[in-house]
Amino acid sequence: MADSSAASAKVRSVCVYCGSSETTKPEYLDLATRFGTALAERGLRLVYGGGGVGLMGRCAKAAADAGGEVLGIMPNFLMQRERVLEAVPHRMVDTMHERKHIMFEESDAFVVLPGGIGTLEEAVETLSWRRLDLHFKPVVFLSEDDFWDPFFHLIQHTVDANLTPASFHNAVANVRTIEDCFAALAAPVRV
């Protein structure tokens, strides 16, 4: 079991999971840009997937442009697809597993912006590790248009079916504003 004293640790580094699509809604790209800037303004380091496209690229570029510290983790096989953002430091790895492991180790908290199946997979794995008490780091889903509501309905469905304990709601927050996201990151994690 993880050390529960980590539940009160100060957040200094935030992993952001989000989409790599350039063809998504402009509002999602804008949210990623504003969130990257907000991280830098608060002196929080951004850890992300290393790409220069979509929400992830916008978030990282905005954080770097605002003077923030950024670390990208990019698997070699995705270099062409996600185009490494050369303006920020990054580590090259061989597998998705290595990418996720380093992102986890380098982060004190996780924020999930709108994204597709890859974003969802990363977020669910992080939540699964939380469910297994492998960490007590904050996990916050942020969307301004209730993008993640169907996911939270699914979580509730698993709670209603007695497949997930109701206490699991303490492991994750679903917020609509950047300010609420930072409030959730700063709140003591309930274990």
pLDDT tens-digit readout, 112-138? 999 999 999 999 999 999 999 999 999
Residue 84 has pLDDT above 80, yes or no: no
The domain that holds 86 is classified in CATH as 3.40.50.450
Cβ(62)–Cβ(40) below 8 Å: yes
Q: Is residue 191 domain-resident?
A: no
With a cut of 60, say whether residue 7 has pLDDT above it: no
Q: How many domains does the chain have?
A: 1
CB contact set of 156 (below 8 Å; sequence gap of 6+): none
- Domain of 164 in residue numbering reads as 4-186
pLDDT band per the 50, 70, 90 thresholds, residue 191: low
